[in-house]
Structure 1
Amino acid sequence: MNKRELIYTVSEHTGVTKDVVAQVLGGILDAVQLATATGDKVAITGFGSFEAVHKPARTARNPQNGAEIKVAESWAPRFRPGSDFKDLVKESRSTALAPA
């Protein structure tokens, strides 16, 4: 599902116009990205949490020739799904994969 399909689905489920859903979704995504980028953790109970994590400098290996490579420290976004989200996926996939 891409962003356009998500907007359509939310519009169908809520009865709100696609334009309004697009504006609200855009605002939510912008707020989550800005908060995460500035060091805040965004937690949505039951869904999951977004945070920035520090990755220290390290030495890695080039898989093609085995040469050592210095990897600089960096920051990266992390999403951790909440328990309700994990349970829903687990139940849905278990049912879909069950033998007939």
Structure 2
Amino acid sequence: MRKPELASAIADQTGLTKEKASEVINAVTDQISAATARGDDVSLIGFGTFSVRKRDARTGRNPQTGATIQIPASRTVGFKAGKALKEAVSG
């Protein structure tokens, strides 16, 4: 499901227009992005938790040349599914 399809489903379920539903989706994703950029976790009870994960610097290998390269430390976003989402997926 892509964002327009999600907006359409939300509009059908809530009675909002597709445009308003799309605005709501954008607002939610913007807030999740802003919170994780600050290093905060975002927990949606029953759905899951978005958290910032740190990757240590490490040595890698260029697959084309085989040369060893140094990969710098970085931060990334992880997602851990909540109990209700896991149960919905597993049936």
Q: TM-score, normalising length from structure 1? A: 0.83
> In structure 2, what is the equivalent of residue 13 of structure 1?
13
Report SS of the residue matched to 1:13: helix
> In structure 2, what is the equivalent of residue 35 of structure 1?
35
Q: CA deviation at 1:61?
A: 2.7
Count of aligned pairs between the two proteins: 91
Report SS of the residue matched to 1:80: strand
> In structure 1, what is the equivalent of residue 73 of structure 2?
73
Deviations 1:45-98 (A, max 9, x none): 01001111111100123344543221111111111111111111111xxxxxxx
Note the residue ranges of structure 2 that are not aligned, 5 or more in a row: none
Deviating more after overlay: 15-24 vs 27-36 = 15-24
Which of structures 1 and 2 has the bigger CA Rg? Answer: 1
Tell me the distance in 1 between the aligned counterparts of 2:12 and 2:2.
Answer: 15
Q: Which amino acid aligns with 1:62?
A: N
Q: Which amino acid aligns with 2:32?
A: V
Tell me the distance in 2 between the aligned counterparts of 1:32 and 1:13.
Answer: 23
Tell me the distance in 2 between the aligned counterparts of 1:60 and 1:87.
Answer: 38
Tell me the distance in 2 between the aligned counterparts of 1:88 and 1:54.
Answer: 29
Tell me the distance in 1 between the aligned counterparts of 2:75 and 2:58.
Answer: 13
Q: Which amino acid aligns with 1:9?
A: A
Tell me the distance in 1 between the aligned counterparts of 2:68 and 2:13.
Answer: 52
